A = this chain, B = another copy of it.
Amino acid sequence: MIIRFQPGTTAADVQAVRERLESEGVRTILSPESARPIFAAVDKVPPTLQAEIESNERVESTVTPKGAWRLAARSFREAPSVADIGGVRLGAGEVSIIAGPCSVDHLMEEAAIQVRRGGAHILRGGAYKPRTSPYSFQGFGKEGLRKLKDAGEKVGLPVVSEIMDAAHVGPFVEHDIDCLQVGARNMQNFTLLKAIAQVGKPVLLKRGLAATVDEWLYSAEYLLAGGCQGVVLCERGIRTFETATRNTLDLTILPLLREITHLPVVVDPAHAAGIASLITPLSRASVAVGADGIAVEVHPDPSQARSDADQALLEGELVQIVAEARVMAAVTGRRLHAQPRIPDKA
């Protein structure tokens, strides 16, 4: 249950309600919301106690979210929340583009220049790669993080990269990676979620291949409960019976997410499609349906890419995706994020 107070309720009044609940063994968590006091009761509140609280004149309303997630619930915040990724504010009525190679490689800097020129806002690149086969390229690790960050700084873009293990937190912090990505396969790696929640960086949380919306929001709840300040959901396609495309992009849940969570949502159309020619129209549809951002793979020379070559885009295709995102943002009452100014040294 989430308890929402009248704006202006004093901290003491709120505290009294919290203590009443805690005295009955119900754990509570206070929202960082500034517009009005809001807190969540983690455990089930008995009906009589709920009635007592609802009769409190300072309590405006109580809301029972569909699942047992609390901090991720729409009603835990007054307005949709925003994640600040190195200065790019995801979710504040602006649409942002994340782009870069699937795996960091020797063409990282060239890729970054194309991503910048193409109009994107955040640079992506994989240093630790989760690969189905143990014999596939596993990423350059720490060295890859350095290359990615260097390239990002060169072109003035914040960077995001996937973290696969709690033990790797050190290198991500050391290289000041602006956003940590949790891959689909690790969405329910709870040890990892707990570890990165405390790092102080926003997290891009991909939906698991067969994860329900409920499970996805519970994983976001692990991050939020652990202290993470900027959780971004990333829809990347679910596994269905259809094999004509690699996965099925679940755009149906985007408007639903708007109703049940305050978290920003980006869409990665490439992994769902698995075919480069489908990515542009799917990006367009994603912004049209309400996504706060799009994540795509761009590589200067897909034939040299170490992974996912089939769905890597060229600079020209990125330019088109950005152009269409600008239009789609406009016609849905938002605007495309302005690219950050390149620092003078660059």
When C-beta atoms are compared, the residue in chain B nearest to A71 turns out to be: B134
A239 at the interface (CB under 8 A from B): yes
A241 near B244 (CB under 8 angstroms)? no
A171 at the interface (CB under 8 A from B): no
Q: Which residues of B sit under 8 angstroms from A222, Cβ to Cβ?
A: 134
A100 at the interface (CB under 8 A from B): no
**Cβ-defined partner of A27 (8 Å) among B69, B135, B190:** B135
Which of A213, A240, A251 neighbours the largest number of chain B CB atoms within 10 Å of its CB? A251
Given contacts A245-B256, A256-B245, contact A282 B238 (CB under 8 A): no
**Cβ-defined partner of A250 (8 Å) among B131, B221, B242, B255:** B242
Q: How far, in angstroms, from A27 to B259 measured CA to CA in the complex?
A: 40
A252 near B255 (CB under 8 angstroms)? no
Residues 259-285 of A, flagged 1 when their CB comes within 8 A of B and 0 if not, give: 100000000000011010110011011
Q: How far, in angstroms, from A241 to B288 measured CA to CA in the complex?
A: 25
Q: Which residues of B sit under 8 angstroms from A167, Cβ to Cβ?
A: 166-167, 191
Q: How far, in angstroms, from A315 to B132 measured CA to CA in the complex?
A: 40
Which residues in chain A, 74-101, are within 8 Å of chain B measured between CB atoms? none
A13 at the interface (CB under 8 A from B): no
B249 near A238 (CB under 8 angstroms)? no
A332 at the interface (CB under 8 A from B): yes
A176 at the interface (CB under 8 A from B): no
B277 near A284 (CB under 8 angstroms)? no
Q: How far, in angstroms, from A135 to B29 measured CA to CA in the complex?
A: 12
B185 near A164 (CB under 8 angstroms)? no
A190 near B164 (CB under 8 angstroms)? yes
B282 near A255 (CB under 8 angstroms)? yes
A48 at the interface (CB under 8 A from B): no
A303 at the interface (CB under 8 A from B): no
**Cβ-defined partner of A281 (8 Å) among B43, B192, B209, B254:** B254
A331 at the interface (CB under 8 A from B): yes
Q: How far, in angstroms, from A180 to B56 measured CA to CA in the complex?
A: 52
Residues 148-179 of A, flagged 1 when their CB comes within 8 A of B and 0 if not, give: 00000000000000001111000000000000
Q: How far, in angstroms, from A252 to B251 measured CA to CA in the complex?
A: 9
Q: Which residues of B sit under 8 angstroms from A132, Cβ to Cβ?
A: 188, 214-215, 218
CB distance from A197 to the nearest CB of B (A): 9
CB distance from A243 to the nearest CB of B (A): 6
CB distance from A30 to the nearest CB of B (A): 16
Which residues does A use to contact B, with CB under 8 Å?
27, 42-43, 68-69, 130-135, 138, 164-167, 185-186, 188-192, 208-210, 212-215, 218, 221-222, 225-226, 237-245, 247-256, 259, 272-273, 275, 277-278, 281-282, 284-290, 324, 327-328, 331-332
Q: Closest 7 CB pairs between A and B?
A: A210-B210, A288-B288, A285-B289, A165-B191, A185-B188, A213-B244, A285-B285
